[in-house]
Chains A and B, each alone.
Chain A
Amino acid sequence: MDSLLPAVAAADAAPLAPGQLRELYSLMAAVRYLDTAAVAWQRQGIIPGYAPELGQEAAQVGSAYALDTARDFAFPTYREMGVARTMGVDMVAYMSTHKATWHGGMYDPLASRLAPIQAVVAGSVLHAVGWAHGQTLEGNDGVALAYFGDGASSQGDVHEAMNFAAVMKAPVVFFIQNNGWAISVPTERQVAGGSVAARAAGYGIPGIQVDGNDVIAVHEATRNAFAHCRAGNGPVVVEAMTYRRGPHSTADDPGRYRSLDDERIDAGEDPLERLRKRLLAEGAADEAFFTAANQAARAEEEAIRTGIEALGPRPGNEMFDFVFQETTPALENQATRWREESEHV
Chain B
Amino acid sequence: MSESTTATLEAAARNEQSVKLSMQQALNRALDEVLAADPKTVVFGEDCGQLGGVFRITDGLQAKHGETRVFDTPLAESGILGMSVGLAMAGFHPIPEVQFDGFAYPAINQIVCQIARMNYRSRGKLPMPITLRVPSFGGIRAPEHHGESLEALFAHVPGLKVVSPSDPHDAYHLLKYAATRPDPVIFMEPKSRYWQKGDVDTADGGTLTGARIVRPGRHLTLVAWGAMVARCLQVAELAAEDGIDVEVLDLRWLKPIDAEALATSVGKTRRAVVVHEAPLTSGLGAEVAQLITQNCFDTLKAPVERVTGFDVPYPSGDLEDEYIPNIDRILLGIQRVLEYRRG
Q: Which A residues are within 8 Å of any B CB, using their own CB?
A: 73, 102-104, 106, 108-110, 115-116, 120, 123-135, 137-138, 144, 156-157, 160-161, 163-164, 167, 318, 321-326, 328-331
Interface flags for B117-129 (1: CB within 8 Å of A; 0: not) read 0111111111100
Identify which of B86, B94, B109, B114 gathers the most chain A CB atoms within 10 Å of its CB: B86
Count, chain B residues at interface, CB 8 A: 45
Segment touching A, from B23-31, B68-76, B195-203: B68-76
Chain A to chain B: the 3 pairs with minimum beta-carbon distance, closest first: A130-B86, A126-B82, A134-B90
Q: Which residues of the partner chain B approach A73 to less than 8 Å between Cβ atoms? A: 89
Whether B123 lies near A322 (C-beta < 8 A) is yes
- 22 examples of A-B residue contacts, CB within 8 angstroms: A104-B121, A104-B122, A109-B122, A110-B125, A125-B82, A126-B78, A126-B79, A130-B83, A130-B87, A131-B90, A133-B87, A134-B86, A137-B68, A164-B73, A164-B74, A164-B79, A167-B74, A323-B158, A328-B256, A329-B256, A329-B259, A331-B256
For the complex with contacts A104-B122, A130-B94, A163-B76, 5 further pairs of A-B residues with Cβ separation under 8 Å are A104-B123, A116-B118, A127-B89, A130-B82, A326-B183
Whether B79 lies near A103 (C-beta < 8 A) is no
Whether B83 lies near A133 (C-beta < 8 A) is yes
Taking the complex as formed, is B110 at the interface, i.e. its CB lies under 8 A from any CB of chain A?
Answer: yes
Interface residues of B in 86-108 (CB under 8 A from A): 86-92, 94
Interface flags for B274-315 (1: CB within 8 Å of A; 0: not) read 000000000000000000000000000000000000000000
Given contacts A126-B110, A130-B86, contact A160 B123 (CB under 8 A): no
Name the residue of chain A whose CB is nearest to the CB of B255. Answer: A328
* Of A104, A115, A120, A160, the contact of B79 (CB 8 Å cutoff): A160
The distance in angstroms between the C-alpha atoms of A156 and B88, with both chains bound, is 22
The distance in angstroms between the C-alpha atoms of A330 and B258, with both chains bound, is 9
* Of A135, A160, A328, the contact of B90 (CB 8 Å cutoff): A135
Q: Which B residues are within 8 Å of any A CB, using their own CB?
A: 42, 68, 73-74, 76, 78-79, 81-92, 94, 109-110, 113-114, 118-127, 158-159, 161, 181-183, 255-257, 259-260
Q: Which residues of the partner chain B approach A330 to less than 8 Å between Cβ atoms? A: 256-257, 259
Whether A161 lies near B87 (C-beta < 8 A) is no
The distance in angstroms between the C-alpha atoms of A123 and B108, with both chains bound, is 12
Given contacts A120-B114, A326-B183, A329-B259, contact A130 B84 (CB under 8 A): yes
The distance in angstroms between the C-alpha atoms of A160 and B181, with both chains bound, is 28
Name the residue of chain A whose CB is nearest to the CB of B94. Answer: A130
Q: Which residues of the partner chain A approach B91 to less than 8 Å between Cβ atoms? A: 134
Whether B183 lies near A116 (C-beta < 8 A) is no
The distance in angstroms between the C-alpha atoms of A133 and B71, with both chains bound, is 12
Whether A160 lies near B76 (C-beta < 8 A) is yes
Whether A129 lies near B83 (C-beta < 8 A) is yes
Q: Which residues of the partner chain A approach B82 to less than 8 Å between Cβ atoms? A: 125-127, 129-130, 157, 160-161
* Of A123, A133, A156, A329, the contact of B113 (CB 8 Å cutoff): A123
Whether B83 lies near A103 (C-beta < 8 A) is no
Whether B119 lies near A127 (C-beta < 8 A) is no
Whether A120 lies near B109 (C-beta < 8 A) is yes
* Of A132, A164, A324, A329, the contact of B183 (CB 8 Å cutoff): A324
Q: How far is the CB of A280 from chain B (nearest CB, A)?
A: 43
Q: Which residues of the partner chain A approach B121 to less than 8 Å between Cβ atoms? A: 103-104, 116
Whether B122 lies near A163 (C-beta < 8 A) is no
Q: Which residues of the partner chain B approach A110 to less than 8 Å between Cβ atoms? A: 125-126
The distance in angstroms between the C-alpha atoms of A330 and B209, with both chains bound, is 14
Q: Which residues of the partner chain A approach B127 to less than 8 Å between Cβ atoms? A: 325
Q: Which residues of the partner chain B approach A326 to less than 8 Å between Cβ atoms? A: 181-183
Name the residue of chain A whose CB is nearest to the CB of B183. Answer: A324
Q: Which residues of the partner chain B approach A328 to less than 8 Å between Cβ atoms? A: 161, 255-256
Q: Which residues of the partner chain A approach B114 to less than 8 Å between Cβ atoms? A: 120, 123-124, 127
Whether B109 lies near A123 (C-beta < 8 A) is yes
